[in-house]
Amino acid sequence: MRDINKIKVMALLLTTVLLCYSCNNSKKETYTEQDVSILWSEMAIYITQYTPANSPTYASRCFGYIGLSQYESIVNGYPTHQSIADQLNGLGDLPKPEHETSYNWLLSLNAAQASIIKKLYNQTSDENKAKIDSLEHAIQVSFSRNMTDEQIINRSIAYGRKISETIYEWAKSDGGHRAYLRNFDKNLMHPDTLGSWKPPLYAQSFSHHPLHPHWGKNRTFLKVNAALPLPDIIPYDSVKGSPYYNEFLKVYNKEQSLTQEEKEAAIWWGDDPDVSFTPPGHSYYLATFAVKKEMPSLIVCTKTYAKVGMAVADAFIECWKWKYHFFTERPNTFIPKFIDEEWVSFWPDPPFPSFPSGHGIQAASAATVLEDAFGAPFSLTDASHIGRGRDEIRDVDFVERSFNSFWEVAQETADSRFYGGIHTQQDNNVGLEEGTKIGQNINHLYWEIKN
């Protein structure tokens, strides 16, 4: 069992650090345009982590709409770029700014982000909603302080809110609206075939029902992503030496020989929603790292968040479609039955079927769009979990990770699930392959106006 007291202490420490950070930033008198985009991304990550009943699936959906709202709230102020609304799956046109009328696009972005985050995370605490209001007010004061035309201020704020309200109304029909109220379907009939998923004894969740079994029916941001064909899978075969058996034997052998660095990777990328910002939140964090490092123009900042948000959202929808189509078992059921009855994975099982890897597919989709935006190679250091207490159960510390490219991040994210003993290499490889396709489709949207 988990050490509940230590988890509570860790959460309290993180909350204190983030509260201090939020308060310090909300009191700043001036902001750069990049600050506005970055602060709202950090707010989205914070709310994701500190809102109850969250899940990787629901969080991925939220980041998709939050990132899109960033971009669409300002794009009409940039003659080099265009709205992507009519390229998305059923969104249609968004409100247009008044012709030959002035706007402050930072005020529009500010209002749109405050509005969309509160709407998507309606269940978050009043304290968290107050943090959102505080940040919105601080940025609004900063950028309207020297403006003499109240009409421009009010028009800009109203426009940002219209954008977020229109996107939110579209979001309500995607199949995932307020899905935190139905994380588990107790009436779901579990397939009982050879190799089918079974609730494990060693798991992250107490539920014996898999998470969001209908998520794969949700509307994707891009139609082309929904049309991706079923990936190939190795057929079930428990005979020793068969390709299927060997996939699990590799997991078993790896668990017997884990290095310290592999153990550190396994816990770093766990991103349990009970104590972290979830895997899609980790991708949004990495996008923020890249934006902070490069400090591009505001339109590039917002485009980065839109691309990463929609990529991980579509990745989770497609992944969950395939997970519940194949409904495959994890090593914690196959290995004890056919290889070693006393075997237990290094990391506990998440509450859903195995194939393909959700970590792998979302990490690859994010890496694909981030590499398109910032290039490869790209050096980065991930310090997102620094400050967390030692994982006493696995006797491992949280050690920051350094990489030379976004793809290295994606590869280690996928590998970490193999080290943790909860995914086969097939799960990870297919996740990386399919996530790349999803990210490429996001890249291929017509973001810029061609001359």
Preceding peptide of 356 cis, ω within 30°: yes
DSSP category for residue 228: P
- 3-state SS assignment for residue 403: strand
CB 337 within 8 A of CB 196: no
Domains, in order of start, for the chain: 19-171 (1.10.606.20), 184-443 (1.10.606.20)
3-state secondary structure 319-388: HHHHHHHHCECCHHHHHHHHCCCCCCCCCCECCCCCCCCHHHHHHHHHHHHHHHHHCCCCCEEECCCCCC
The pLDDT assigned to 293 comes to 98
Give this prediction's pTM: 0.93
Question: Which is nearest to 180 in space by CA: 215, 152, 205?
Answer: 215
Contacts 24+ apart (CB under 8 A), 378-381: 378/290, 378/404, 378/405, 378/406, 379/403, 379/404, 380/286, 380/289, 380/290, 380/293, 380/406, 380/409
Classify residue 126 as exposed, middle or buried by CB count within 10 Å of its CB (0-12, 13-18, 19+): exposed
CB 311 within 8 A of CB 318: no
Tokens of 215: 């998520």
Question: Which is nearest to 382 in space by CA: 300, 236, 279?
Answer: 279
Give the pLDDT of the chain (451 residues) as one tens digit per residue: 333 333 333 444 444 444 444 444 445 578 999 999 999 999 999 999 999 989 999 999 999 999 999 999 999 999 999 999 999 999 999 999 999 999 999 999 999 999 999 999 999 999 999 999 999 999 999 999 989 999 999 999 999 999 999 999 999 999 999 999 999 998 999 999 999 999 877 767 667 789 999 999 999 999 999 999 999 999 999 999 999 999 999 999 999 999 999 999 999 999 999 899 999 999 999 999 999 999 999 999 999 999 999 999 999 999 999 999 999 999 999 999 999 999 999 999 999 999 999 999 999 999 999 999 999 999 999 999 999 999 999 999 999 999 999 999 999 999 999 999 999 999 999 999 999 999 999 999 999 998 7
The pLDDT assigned to 208 comes to 79
